[in-house]
Amino acid sequence: MKSNNYELLFREVQHFRSIILWVIIGLVSVINIYIFVQQIILGNPIGNNPAPDVMAILFFAIFGVGFPVAFYFMNLTTEVRTDGLYIRFLPFHLSFRRIVPPNLTGCRARIYSALGEYGGWGIRFGYKSKAYNVSGNQGVQLDFADKDSILLGSRRPQELVKAINLMLGQSDHGSDN
């Protein structure tokens, strides 16, 4: 596969798929839709001290519609091309972030704890490390010349390591399970 005159060696698109996350988002959304319908459309405010209409509309827009739509379209795309590794976490990155071979010194597949090591899922920052993950506990640790590291969550970590090593011109190694 060709992309910008460089061969595409690997591509993975991941979405938030945790059932617990979607249940929470769904419940929050339904509650806000219910309050909106009761207060704004039917004119029956809930409780003795209801929120102002503008707050009901704002919460409906953000939590009833905005968050569910944002999480539905949010995804982590990882591509390995012959000229580098490309990462995009929509909607935070509108274009790909490119990691070039001279800065990337190696990689290895590994099991990790998103909550324990990084405090959760998404784009996470730590001392000299960063993580991009959306679900699961498998990923690829990227090591850099300046001793920084990035963890990329992946459902296919062995394939990703193989593609990165091919891009770096190295043999297929780097598993740590």
pLDDT, tens only, 98-136:
998 788 888 999 999 888 888 888 899 877 789 999 988
Going by C-beta distance under 8 Å and a sequence separation of 6 or more, which residues neighbour residue 151?
A: 110, 112, 117, 118, 129, 130, 131, 132, 133, 139, 140, 141, 142
- pLDDT, tens digit (0-9, with 9 covering 90-100), for 46-92: 888 888 999 999 999 999 999 999 988 999 999 999 999 999 999 89
Give the domain ranges of the chain: 19-73, 94-172
Q: In terms of pLDDT, which residue wins out, 95 or 17?
A: 95
Share of the chain above pLDDT 70, in %: 93
- For 138, phi and psi rounded to 5 degrees? -115, 145
